[in-house]
């Protein structure tokens, strides 16, 4: 507020009752009619109207370095009411009010003309600190990890503020390769931030600590991938406690020997971001194994189906390290085809032969024989006269491709011992190369006309070379009281028992079990005197046919014959006895002649040849051997079980070694190493490579944790490995866990009111980004102008302290608003106290 002390300097009006020239007289010219001021007028006590001064515009400067001199901030413009009072003198006076981020200059301009007229006015000049401080980062340097966070070693930035206020500096680090890019930032008390500048710190670090995998031996059936044979374990990988990644790679060089064993030379390389390299060679010995094949199951097939592998199956490779060529050879004996499968890999290693038995299922040939007949004694009985048997159906053409020939028909005649009268039993036989034998009988009766006699029939009915002798000589030759014919009586009749099919060679074939014929008499005069039979036996591989010729003769010497067919077909499996259960070594178990493990015994009730075989299944440490047997006729005995308990050595295992990790690293076994089973085969049974399934090897561990000084701890890990046979291995692995100080991250810089600075949850708390123990957070505050510096720090339960982290809070409060009274002019003798001029 400007209060001008003086007279009334407004435009003069005659007789205005004011002292306009400060001579303690009012309107003296009007009163005394004297031109006191010499202006040619008797009007007032002023020589002229006062000067008028107009202000330059209000000025706001953004830097304390800007000049506030009038030539830069502007001068006032003077207006004269009358031109008679020149020249004018102009003067100015500054009143300066300084605040934190602002300087206010109240410049009062005074203009006085030659007539003594005076005018004043005030110009406001505001200087606000809106200019960022200057910031120069320290020189780029190469530092060790201990120097990395030491301000003395790495240097601090230089800064300058135009207005001389305090400046806060901080930095943010970014790891690029082995170089820390440190971005420095600054902010003055007025919240002006400096442009970021970068300092690079090249780190000098030691190579990482690495535990490389050891040499191992595996079979060619196991994987040689690093996940199975071991990978490097980094026990200390941080670069100056910065989470920096490592590059781990390897190259393999493989050499194969003449016997197809392999040596893999695996060169491991571990490189950190600073170019430190570690290299070590791991040897992996890969032993070759002969292939194993599996024959298809025994089956039944037609001649066509035998070569259809979709029907009978094909041997498959159960396990192999090389490509395998599988071949077979066939041999046919009877209706059984034995197919021997063999596999040879590209190294020339052969598998154990595997046998498949295929029962050839073909319908036997069908045979049609001539009917039974009677011929006179002098007539021919050759098949050319009596008829040949013919094949109604033979085997298919595909069967002959197996090495056979068409079915052959032959016959054998058997007489009853009498030339005539008598009979011929003709045994017809058709035999295929598959062992099918089809039998059929034909009876040819030799003699006279043995039908019911008729007088004078012109036939020799009693074989005495005379025809109708009683009729011709009227003599009762046969004493039957009749002169009617040359037979004593009518012949007897015989009915054969039904054909019999037996299923075992041990079944009895005597008439008491197979049946006797039924005799009928046409006359009661001739009683049965004799009933006899004669057997004609034909034996084949799987069948026996008995053609039984029955002869009945009565007391009148009448004869009747009948044929009874008895067939014995081998449908009974052989008996099978498995060897005793026993305990064997691997060598004894793998002995192909079964001398140590024992062999099953089989017996065929038809005294035929039997074939035995077995299949093995591993259950725990015991091999369950299932024995089976079949005879030449394809009858298969029920399975018999033999158990073989294996005596095996404990597995060869590579255990993980001792190591050190930080408290931030996991001590899980997947990170600190697992046991590697180097020789997983179990008497030839395939066992998968690394820590194998619980079906074969059980792997577990127990941990004992001991707290050491300075918050370190020792994990004593006891590994237990038990195979399925009860062999047990133990190993002690020590893992040292060293402690690391906590790492915290300050919340983001923010702007807040004075009240808001008390709400820590709103402005953000520091967060723990890395810690192994419970952490206590705290902060200290310092106020510099409108910048509240909150320095966060932490300490864990072991007493290790983190690096402090800075948060800057800019206080945003409106400046006080002040209303002052208007500028006024009062007379010199009037009071200028605010009680009179206004508060």
The number of helix segments (H) and strand segments (E) in the chain equals 14, 56
Buried b (16+ CB within 10 A) or exposed e, 388-416: ebebeebbeeebeebeeeebebebeebbb
The residues facing 520 across adjacent strands are 493
The residues facing 325 across adjacent strands are 344
245 or 576, greater pLDDT: 576
Cα–Cα distance measured from residue 305 to residue 302, given in angstroms and rounded to the nearest whole number:
5
Q: If pLDDT is split at 50, 70 and 90, which confidence band does 725 have?
A: confident
The residues facing 363 across adjacent strands are none
Q: If pLDDT is split at 50, 70 and 90, which confidence band does 732 have?
A: very high
* Averaged pLDDT for residues 407-423: 74
Looking at residue 592, its pLDDT comes to: 64
The pair of structure tokens assigned to 645 is 């308990």
Three-state secondary structure string covering 155-222: CCCEEECCCCCCEEEEEEEEEECCEEEEEEEEEECCCCECCCEEEEEEEECCCCEEECCCCEEEECCC
Distance of CA 718 to the CA centre of its chain: 28
pLDDT > 80? residue 717: yes
Looking at residue 134, its pLDDT comes to: 86
Query: Which of 448-462, 713-727, 750-764 has the highest average model confidence (pLDDT)?
Result: 713-727
Q: Name the 3-class secondary structure at 527.
A: coil
The residues facing 551 across adjacent strands are 532, 561
Whether residue 199 contacts residue 140, with contact meaning beta carbons closer than 8 Å, is answered with: yes
Looking at residue 47, its pLDDT comes to: 46
Main-chain dihedrals φ then ψ at residue 208, nearest 5 degrees: -70, 160
Looking at residue 694, its pLDDT comes to: 41
Cα–Cα distance measured from residue 44 to residue 106, given in angstroms and rounded to the nearest whole number:
35
Nearest C-alpha neighbor of 105 from the set 71, 65, 73: 73
Buried b (16+ CB within 10 A) or exposed e, 575-608: ebebbeeeebebebbeeeeeeebbebebebbbeb
The pTM of this model reads: 0.43
The pair of structure tokens assigned to 146 is 């201990």
Whether residue 614 contacts residue 644, with contact meaning beta carbons closer than 8 Å, is answered with: no
Q: If pLDDT is split at 50, 70 and 90, which confidence band does 327 have?
A: very high
Cα–Cα distance measured from residue 633 to residue 581, given in angstroms and rounded to the nearest whole number:
30
**Cα separations in angstroms, 609 against 74, 604, 708:** 134, 7, 78
N- to C-terminal Cα separation, the chain: 10
For CA atoms 380, 381, 382, 384, the dihedral sign is positive
Largest CA distance in the chain: 231
Cα–Cα distance measured from residue 651 to residue 682, given in angstroms and rounded to the nearest whole number:
9
Whether residue 789 contacts residue 168, with contact meaning beta carbons closer than 8 Å, is answered with: yes
Q: Which helix (H) or strand (E) holds 672?
A: helix 669-672
Q: DSSP class of residue 631?
A: E
Cα–Cα distance measured from residue 80 to residue 88, given in angstroms and rounded to the nearest whole number:
9
The pair of structure tokens assigned to 599 is 């062999």
Torsion of CA 612, 618, 619, 622, to 10 degrees: 70
Looking at residue 282, its pLDDT comes to: 92
Cα–Cα distance measured from residue 163 to residue 549, given in angstroms and rounded to the nearest whole number:
145
Looking at residue 545, its pLDDT comes to: 84
* Averaged pLDDT for residues 702-721: 88
Whether residue 277 contacts residue 269, with contact meaning beta carbons closer than 8 Å, is answered with: yes
pLDDT > 80? residue 80: no
* Averaged pLDDT for residues 54-79: 82
- How do residues 631-675 score in pLDDT, each as one tens digit? 888 888 887 888 888 888 777 888 888 887 888 788 888 888 888
Q: If pLDDT is split at 50, 70 and 90, which confidence band does 451 have?
A: low
* Averaged pLDDT for residues 725-750: 85
Q: Which helix (H) or strand (E) holds 358?
A: strand 354-360
Main-chain dihedrals φ then ψ at residue 386, nearest 5 degrees: -90, -10
- How do residues 515-529 score in pLDDT, each as one tens digit? 888 887 655 556 666
- CA triple 689-245-668, angle to 5 deg: 45
629 or 150, greater pLDDT: 629
Environment class of 167 (CB within 10 Å of its CB; exposed 0-12, middle 13-18, buried 19+): buried
328: alpha, beta or left? (left if phi > 0; alpha if psi -120 to 50): beta
Cα–Cα distance measured from residue 143 to residue 134, given in angstroms and rounded to the nearest whole number:
26
Q: If pLDDT is split at 50, 70 and 90, which confidence band does 20 have?
A: low
* Averaged pLDDT for residues 814-821: 82
* Averaged pLDDT for residues 582-598: 77
Cα–Cα distance measured from residue 139 to residue 661, given in angstroms and rounded to the nearest whole number:
35
Q: DSSP class of residue 709?
A: G
The pair of structure tokens assigned to 682 is 């179990």
Q: DSSP class of residue 353?
A: P
Looking at residue 668, its pLDDT comes to: 87
Looking at residue 249, its pLDDT comes to: 92
Nearest C-alpha neighbor of 242 from the set 171, 177, 167, 325: 177
Environment class of 520 (CB within 10 Å of its CB; exposed 0-12, middle 13-18, buried 19+): exposed
For a pLDDT cut of 70, what percent of the chain falls above it?
A: 81
Looking at residue 192, its pLDDT comes to: 85
Looking at residue 471, its pLDDT comes to: 61
User: What residues contact residue 24 under an 8 Å CB cut-off, 6+ apart?
Assistant: none
pLDDT > 70? residue 37: no
User: What residues contact residue 512 under an 8 Å CB cut-off, 6+ apart?
Assistant: none
463 or 226, greater pLDDT: 226
The pair of structure tokens assigned to 95 is 């009143």
Rg (CA), the chain: 65
Looking at residue 252, its pLDDT comes to: 93
**Lowest mean pLDDT across 256-265, 266-275, 415-424:** 415-424
- How do residues 101-121 score in pLDDT, each as one tens digit? 888 899 898 888 777 778 888
The pair of structure tokens assigned to 715 is 């994990």
Cα–Cα distance measured from residue 152 to residue 731, given in angstroms and rounded to the nearest whole number:
50
Q: Name the 3-class secondary structure at 649.
A: coil
Q: Name the 3-class secondary structure at 696.
A: coil
**Cα separations in angstroms, 98 against 64, 126, 819:** 12, 10, 18
- CA triple 455-461-463, angle to 5 deg: 145
Q: Tokens 């491991």 label which residue?
A: 268
How much is the mean pLDDT over the chain? 79
Looking at residue 688, its pLDDT comes to: 40
**Lowest mean pLDDT across 132-136, 211-215, 530-534:** 530-534
Q: Where are the alpha helices (DSSP H) in 401-484?
A: 469-473
* Averaged pLDDT for residues 752-764: 80
DSSP codes of every residue in 91-139: EEEEEEEE-SSEEEEEEEEEEEETT--EEEEEEEEEEE--PPPEEEPPP
pLDDT > 90? residue 325: yes
Please count the other Cβ atoms lying within 10 Å of the Cβ belonging to residue 264: 18
């Amino acid at each position: 507020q400007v209060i001008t002390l003086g007279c009334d300097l407004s435009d003069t009006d005659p007789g205005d009752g004011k002292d306009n020239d400060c001579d303690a007289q009012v309107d003296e010219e009007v009163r005394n009619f004297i031109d006191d001021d010499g202006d040619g007028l008797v009007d007032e006590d002023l020589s002229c109207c006062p000067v008028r001064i107009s202000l330059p515009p209000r000025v706001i400067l953004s830097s304390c370095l800007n000049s506030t001199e009038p030539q830069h901030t502007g001068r006032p413009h003077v207006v004269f009411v009358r031109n008679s009072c020149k020249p004018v003198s102009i003067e100015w006076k500054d009143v300066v009010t300084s605040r934190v981020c602002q300087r206010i200059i109240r410049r009062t301009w005074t203009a006085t003309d030659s007539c003594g007229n005076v005018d004043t006015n005030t110009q406001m000049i505001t200087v606000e600190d809106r200019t960022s401080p200057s910031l120069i980062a320290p020189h780029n340097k190469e530092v060790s990890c201990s120097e990395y966070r030491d301000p003395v070693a790495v240097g601090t930035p230089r800064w300058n503020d135009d207005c001389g206020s305090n400046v806060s500096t901080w930095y943010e680090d970014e790891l690029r390769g082995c170089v820390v890019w440190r971005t420095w930032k600054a902010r003055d008390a007025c919240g002006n931030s400096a442009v970021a500048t970068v300092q690079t710190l090249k780190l000098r670090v030691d190579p990482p600590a690495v535990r490389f995998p050891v040499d191992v031996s595996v079979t060619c059936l196991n994987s040689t991938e690093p996940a199975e044979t071991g990978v490097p374990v980094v026990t200390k990988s941080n670069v100056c406690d910065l989470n920096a990644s490592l590059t781990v790679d390897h190259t393999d060089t493989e050499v194969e020997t003449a016997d197809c064993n392999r040596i893999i030379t695996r060169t491991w390389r571990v490189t950190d971001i600073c170019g430190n390299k570690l290299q070590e060679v791991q040897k992996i010995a890969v032993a070759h194994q002969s292939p194993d094949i599996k024959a298809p199951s025994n089956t039944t097939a037609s001649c066509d189906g035998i070569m259809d592998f979709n029907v009978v199956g094909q041997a498959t490779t159960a396990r192999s390290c090389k490509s395998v060529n599988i071949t077979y050879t066939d041999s046919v004996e009877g209706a059984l085809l034995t197919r021997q499968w063999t596999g040879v890999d590209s190294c020339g290693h052969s598998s154990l032969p595997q046998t498949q038995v295929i029962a050839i299922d073909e319908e036997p040939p069908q045979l049609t024989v001539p009917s039974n007949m009677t011929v006179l004694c002098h007539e021919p009985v050759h098949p050319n006269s009596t008829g040949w048997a013919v094949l109604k159906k033979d085997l298919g053409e595909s069967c002959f491709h197996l090495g056979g020939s068409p079915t052959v028909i032959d016959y054998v005649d058997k007489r009853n011992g009498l030339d005539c009268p008598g009979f011929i039993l003709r045994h017809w036989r058709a035999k295929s190369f598959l062992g099918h034998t089809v039998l059929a009988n034909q009876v040819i009766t030799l003699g006279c006309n043995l039908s019911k006699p008729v007088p004078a029939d012109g036939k020799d009915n009693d074989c005495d070379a005379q025809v109708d002798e009683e009729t011709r000589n009227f003599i009762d030759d046969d004493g039957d009281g009749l002169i009617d014919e040359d037979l004593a009586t009518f012949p007897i009749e015989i009915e054969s028992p039904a054909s019999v099919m037996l299923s075992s060679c041990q079944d009895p074939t005597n008439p008491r079990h197979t049946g006797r014929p039924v005799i009928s008499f046409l006359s009661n005069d001739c009683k049965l005197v004799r009933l006899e039979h004669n057997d004609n036996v034909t034996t084949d591989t799987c069948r026996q046919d008995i053609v039984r010729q029955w002869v009945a003769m009565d007391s009148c010497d009448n004869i009747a014959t009948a044929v009874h067919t008895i067939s014995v077909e081998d449908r009974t499996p052989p008996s099978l006895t498995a060897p005793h259960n026993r305990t064997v070594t691997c060598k004894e178990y793998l002995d192909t002649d079964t001398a140590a493990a024992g062999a099953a015994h089989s017996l065929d009730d038809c005294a035929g040849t039997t074939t035995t075989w077995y299949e093995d299944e591993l259950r725990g440490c015991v091999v369950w051997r299932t024995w089976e047997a079949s005879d030449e006729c394809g009858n298969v005995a029920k399975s018999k079980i033999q158990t073989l308990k294996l005596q095996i050595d404990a597995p060869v295992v590579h255990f993980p070694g001792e190591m050190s990790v930080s408290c931030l690293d996991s001590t899980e076994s997947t990170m600190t190493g697992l046991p590697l089973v180097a020789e997983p085969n179990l008497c030839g049974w395939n066992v998968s490579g690394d820590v194998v399934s619980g079906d074969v090897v059980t792997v577990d561990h127990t941990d004992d944790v001991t707290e050491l000084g300075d918050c370190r701890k020792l994990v004593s890990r006891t590994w237990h490995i038990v195979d399925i046979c009860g062999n047990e291995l133990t190993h002690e692995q020590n893992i040292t866990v060293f402690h690391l100080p906590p790492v915290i991250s300050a919340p983001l810089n923010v702007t807040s009111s004075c009240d808001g600075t008390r709400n820590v949850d709103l402005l953000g708390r520091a967060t723990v980004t890395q810690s192994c123990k419970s952490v206590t957070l705290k902060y200290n505050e310092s106020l510099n102008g409108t910048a509240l510096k909150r320095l966060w720090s932490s300490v864990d339960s072991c007493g290790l302290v983190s690096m402090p982290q800075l948060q800057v809070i800019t206080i945003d409060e409106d400046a006080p608003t002040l209303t002052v009274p208007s500028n006024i002019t009062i007379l010199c003798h009037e009071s200028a106290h605010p009680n009179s001029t206004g508060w």
